[in-house]
Amino acid sequence: MSSRAMLIFAALSGFVLVAFGAFGAHVLSKSLGEAEMAWIHTGLDYQAWHTLAILGLGAAMLRRANIWFYWSSAFLALGTVLFSGSLYCLALSHLTLWVFVTPVGGTCFLIGWILMLIGALRLKRKAGSHE
């Protein structure tokens, strides 16, 4: 993902996060049970944290291109769609096939965080900095 794509994804994901969160709180909470609302809340929490991570990676990539951050953001975005999306679909449809998608999204999250770590470790220190 380019820094532009990362920032666009973060903006869209943030919009969906707020809109679906509000819809869930004001509309879905009246018709769904506790378990379904818990799935939605979990999806929203993970979407929020990973959207912020992608936003940070996009900002970092504006400063210096980093292939590790590129792939990290791609896996975090895919994880957001698969993990959070599958929880939303499970809560709304009760189709059990979604329970098989959720761990794939979680695995994408883990890969994304490891790639971010590798990218951060490979960043060069500036000459003369005392970090």
Rounded Cα distance between 107 and 57, Å, is: 19
Which pair of tokens denotes residue 77?
């975005």
Q: For the CA atoms of the chain, what is the radius of gyration?
A: 17
Domain that holds residue 63: 3-122
- The whole-model pTM stands at 0.91
Q: What was the pLDDT predicted at 130?
A: 56
Q: What was the pLDDT predicted at 52?
A: 97
Cβ proximity of 24 and 40 under 8 Å: yes
For 35, phi and psi rounded to 5 degrees? Answer: -65, -45
Q: What was the pLDDT predicted at 99?
A: 95
Residues found in the chain: 131
Residues lower than pLDDT 50 in the chain: none
Q: What was the pLDDT predicted at 129?
A: 56
Instruction: Give one DSSP letter per residue of 95-107, joined into a string.
Output: -GGGGGTHHHHHH
**Residue 127 covered by a domain:** no
**Residue 128 covered by a domain:** no
Q: What was the pLDDT predicted at 2?
A: 86
Which pair of tokens denotes residue 2?
């380019």
**Residue 22 covered by a domain:** yes
Structural domain count of the chain: 1
**Residue 131 covered by a domain:** no
Rounded Cα distance between 114 and 80, Å, is: 16
Rounded Cα distance between 10 and 17, Å, is: 10
